[in-house]
Amino acid sequence: MTLWWIGNVALFAVFLVVVYLLHGVLTAARSIVPSVEQIAKTAEAGSKDLDAAALLVTTEDQVQQTIAVAANYGGSLDVIIDDAL
């Protein structure tokens, strides 16, 4: 009979420990959810920001044309202006 009571007390203690641990796991899981949602929003915003990356193609074309004009202009200057030496 004594062992039976000791077993009950031990079982109750184990129950308290398990409940405490499960409560900690639940709290951690609940704290992760808002972070994941924030990460999802940030990733969405970052993806939208990268929509402008397509404009780099236009920028590349403009740079090529600008350099071509500068090269033509430099070529003309090279013809009409004497060299330093």
Partner 1 sequence: MTLIAVALIVAALVVYLVAVILQLWKITNGLDEVIEYVGEIVEKSEPVEAIVTSINGQLDAGVDLLEGLLVKKAGLIDAVGLVEGLYPGSAAAGFRNFPESTTIKAPRIGEIYTKGTLTLARLGREAPIAVGNPAGPALRDIERGSLSARLLYPEGRQSRPERMPRSPIIGTDAPVLYPPSEQRGGTTPDAAEIQEKGPWAETAAEGIVPAELGGSDAPRELLADDPQLGSEALGETTGSPVSDVDPAGGDRADATTDGAPDVPPRVEPDLKDAPGEADRP
Residues in the site for partner 1, rule: CB under 8 A?
8, 11-12, 15, 18-19, 22-23, 25-26, 29-30, 32-33, 36-37, 39-40, 43-44, 46-47, 50-51, 53-54, 56-57, 59-60, 63-64, 66-67, 70-71, 74, 77-78, 80-85
For residue 81, what is the DSSP state?
S
Tell me the C-alpha distance between 41 and 11, whole Å: 46
**What is the closest distance, in whole angstroms, from the C-beta atom of residue 63 to partner 1 in the complex?**
5
**What is the closest distance, in whole angstroms, from the C-beta atom of residue 8 to partner 1 in the complex?**
7
- Segment holding 51, helix H or strand E: none
68 to 58, 72, 76, 77: CA distances (angstroms): 15, 6, 12, 14
